[in-house]
Structure 1
């Protein structure tokens, strides 16, 4: 936790929070505007619309994660402080773990705030929101972020030019929307860019004649377990790559 605290102090000096906080606020407001549009159809004014796979997090999360890790790594890379920290006994893997945990704590807070805002909006709209659905949504979103951080933070530690990382973040957000699968079997979980959609409690279902609804994903408990294992694999792969980089 001391390492996380140090990362927090460094990020305050570089104002790493500002841009990403703004992005998450935009994502939250954008989602709420989308919900308001859907609520014009009375049959869609329910909790299923609030916590479905059709939201802007698929676009915004890859961008937000790439921007954040680029900020917390890029400034140190430009100042060549990695070598200085190495002389003080902090290897590349230790730095990676500190930054990984710090990033997860930050997005934990951001995700919690987003879901609370959506719940408040739902309550104001007269919608009953089961807490178990809220918990599943929160867990799925955190797992999706974990997978994205495993990828983008590793790239940030490896790539010399952080501009490439930002471009990959924009590309990831775009692909997250484009590749948002129509079929949500277990194979969809292999794409980390669409994890926020694949792990959403409710899935889009087309009824025909322009009508649609959202159905509860009955396989979701097993999908969460599967994606947890997948996240650990991504994290393990990141560790292997960075050990080779540091050797």
Structure 2
């Protein structure tokens, strides 16, 4: 229990530091992003997942507010061809124009490879993903690499609490813009509510387009997962 409280304290401290540091910046936006994910296995090596998430602005221009920014619906098919390797194909649709008339809706295609290794005290995951972001006016291409660690906190606890920490690097290119680089840092906790349901809470800090037009973005994340 002491270990769990220690990591929770780390999460609170990290959140406070990021918020206090970022609010001093001119280009800072805070978001709340809840999500629900349904997943099921076709076979021991092949699975599907469907998710819906909602992004909401909660802080912008040095003021607190609450505005819906977008709604995403996504699907991912994953094939585990080896104990450590998995291939995935995804499809995502983003409704944004209904909430921001100057933005376009987006259809996104995704391809990924995940390599996972497991030690006695943690699990490490490397995800390489390519994306094609299709808008009515332009197509954007994005390359992503994510490194993440999953650390069990109390194996004897029936809720199986765990902590996840990670970072992700993104490069986006398009004919209408200069290449954009983004870096993300995240930490979160998860619990197994029942054998087939999970609940996750976390925060993520993003440095968007940091070589040209730096923007600071802070996300509060919540996800409810159901395995069918």
Tell me whether the two structures share a fold, i.e. TM-score over 0.5. Answer: no
Taking structure 2 as the reference length, what is the TM-score of the superposition?
A: 0.25
Higher helix share: 1
Higher relative contact order, structure no. (Cα contacts within 8 Å, ≥ 6 residues apart): 1
